[in-house]
Structure 1
């Protein structure tokens, strides 16, 4: 089964986009005297321009130039003006792949860069671990991955490799989160969580679905029902503080995913993921029920005060009319 992509095509393009505005071109693609001296050592305008372009791309965004990679005209024109070359010779560069490879090797030494390898992949996955515990958003993780590789002066691999490292970091973070949520649980907690997937008596829905239902109107009937829901949540007796060590973003993501699943889908999860998801649903569900009970109380009190106020005004009007009649 192919690995699910964590980035859209637009996000990949944005992450690896080359600068085209004048300010960005000046910041990223301005040459020093040392750079110009090295560029002038190439023979022929096409080689000098191609060598200069490779130098720029290795500095930012930090990858080696591929033969099929399009380079914006604004970049070519800016570099050509600096080295006093004709931008039209760009199409002649790299007719021989060997020339391109030789230039790349020389620039790697000049810039102090190293090629990306398997040890770097493992280190990258480990470095993304803390961020993956906070978010599983591919764009955020991929941007962090690029920053890490640039700081370590490693030539960026293909975006597919970056995505794979981010996905692996998210998978490892998920497992850590599952273990942290399950570690304080005992057998009776697990039995109570499993029971949430069973059908509640006198209904055609599971306990989990019933517990997540919201009150329809602010009246005593729905208050009593919601109090019963709160009691069932409390009867699970989950350990105090469970879930506090999990970042709120990740916990809420588990709740959203769990809410979209049917009880059968949840039952098909592997044990760690199923119990962790149910714990997240219980934590969020209990907080929601408490909030809704407070809201029900407030709405009922407002309704009572409004009715009392109207009754008082009606009495005042009646008394005022009787008083006027007597006067």
Structure 2
């Protein structure tokens, strides 16, 4: 079986070719200082000083060993040659001489104090890289981190194939450790049940693994209850939800993605630990997915209830429109006849019968009463007729999830708990003291048709709770245990059982907190001030030197080593150059 490659061809080429440098990078990494200048002059001829200096500065910049065969670009050669007062063409005579290059490379390596990576160093680097590998499944960021660590340890960077091998070892170890962490708290009996998810049960044509991956379906009572059935099956396995927080989310998502994409017979080909860890990750991810799918379906059902009520109201108004218009025309004619009869002192009843027969007028008044609606009538009055599906899932929803809330939404959660308790005790009539702070003005007349002191209407109170729950979930004031989309902010943090021992150990001075910076502000501030003072001191010393030969390109108004006395660079410009060189 071929070895897996962790880098693409394009990514690998970025480490096997010389990087593109702008003027800032050239000045920062390829400025020839006095020590390098004098060291280069010890080599005979013109090609050797130039080639040695280029090789020395390239090694100091990139740190790659001679086996990497990374040749500098022409901009570096021109920049270094200009500082040495040599023609760049001399480098062409230096490049083909392999023995000389190897000798100069060894000299530059010893001068810079760099060491090769031996077996002991490989073991140390792999151990250092393993914690980083726990946070990613990608090879490229680990290659960058490993090369940076090699440079900080004063090691020569080996060929990219060696680097990739070390990264592959760390990633393989991280994958194995991730599986072990996920399975550490799973009882043996549960592990056997996990294997059973990949084989069809008696009387079933599909595996539980495939059944759990079914789509949620269209919003309906049946689809909602089917979601809860699958969710309850996963909960019955009693997997610890905190197990997902003991491993990095990138690793967990990668395992869950594999489990969701692979069929059961593919998972059976995995070795036992990886297969079971993949199933655990898939189930933990699926539990959150099903929870969110159920809550989203509830949201759509509530939205559909309001939309259907508004559509029904609009249809009713459209249907009554012609009848209402006929009545308006009739009453306008009757009204005009009465006005004329009053003006002429005529009999008003004869005036009415001149427009419409009296019996027809009496029946039109009765029809107008049926067409009229209360002043406060709106779509809210039609909700009860559109809430059959929502009422069918009310207590299944309340029983399936644990809701928590911010202080401004606590009444909604309390109302859910009270309704759940009344349902368990088979109480049909609601008490008058139920929480009601979330009952808005548009709901008040429907929920309390007999006044606030009387018991609320059960149907409208339940619908009002559904609406308040929908608004609370959308705003983030209500969150649900086990949800990914509607989760508590504290679940983004380290579990208390992990954080508390770490904090206590740090307070005792046993082990510092694993942070990239010191948690003590005074210590952090003092370290940054000291670093700034060191950098400013280096810049000041360089800018006030008698000779400004540390500067670079003549074409930008900087001085050359060929004629330092003829340099016309102003002190301010030299100071700017040194600032760029040292502070970057």
Please give the TM-score of this superposition, normalised by the length of structure 2. 0.54
Matched with 2:9 is 9
SS at match of 1:268: coil
Q: Is the 8 A contact 1:57 1:64 kept in 2?
A: no
Structure 1: gaps (5+ residues): none
The 5-angstrom pairing of residues 20-31 of structure 1 reads 20-31=21-32
Matched with 1:46 is 47
Instruction: Return the alpha-carbon distance in structure 2 between the equivalents of residues 279 and 67 of structure 1.
Output: 43
1:151 maps onto 2:161 in alignment:
no
Question: How far is the alpha carbon of 1:25 from its aligned partner?
Answer: 1.3
SS at match of 2:178: helix
1:134 maps onto 2:135 in alignment:
yes
Matched with 1:110 is 111
Matched with 2:99 is 98
* Aligned Cα root-mean-square deviation (Å): 1.9
Question: How far is the alpha carbon of 1:148 from its aligned partner?
Answer: 0.2
Q: Is the 8 A contact 2:68 2:160 kept in 1?
A: no
- Could you give the per-residue CA deviations for residues 85-130 of structure 1, whole angstroms, max 9, x where no partner exists? 1211222215543322221222122111111211111111111111
Matched with 2:517 is none
Question: How far is the alpha carbon of 1:64 from its aligned partner?
Answer: 3.0
Distance change in 2, residues 1:44/1:84 (3 Å): same
Distance change in 2, residues 1:150/1:324 (3 Å): same
Structure 2: gaps (5+ residues): 332-584
Q: Is the 8 A contact 1:47 1:93 kept in 2?
A: yes
1:81 maps onto 2:82 in alignment:
yes
Instruction: Return the alpha-carbon distance in structure 1 between the equivalents of residues 276 and 79 of structure 2.
Output: 58
Instruction: Return the alpha-carbon distance in structure 1 between the equivalents of residues 39 and 242 of structure 2.
Output: 62
Matched with 2:166 is 165
Q: Work out which of the two has the higher radius of gyration on C-alpha atoms and give 1 or 2.
A: 2
Matched with 1:219 is 220
Matched with 1:228 is 229
Distance change in 2, residues 1:136/1:182 (3 Å): same
Q: Is the 8 A contact 2:58 2:72 kept in 1?
A: no
Q: Is the 8 A contact 1:19 1:25 kept in 2?
A: no
**163-172 vs 114-123, which moves further:** 114-123
Question: How far is the alpha carbon of 1:6 from its aligned partner?
Answer: 0.7
Q: Is the 8 A contact 1:45 1:89 kept in 2?
A: yes
Distance change in 2, residues 1:66/1:211 (3 Å): closer
- Could you give the per-residue CA deviations for residues 140-190 of structure 1, whole angstroms, max 9, x where no partner exists? 000000000000011110000000001100111111111111111112211
Instruction: Return the alpha-carbon distance in structure 2 between the equivalents of residues 246 and 157 of structure 1.
Output: 31
Q: Is the 8 A contact 1:133 1:170 kept in 2?
A: yes
Instruction: Return the alpha-carbon distance in structure 1 between the equivalents of residues 96 and 206 of structure 2.
Output: 69
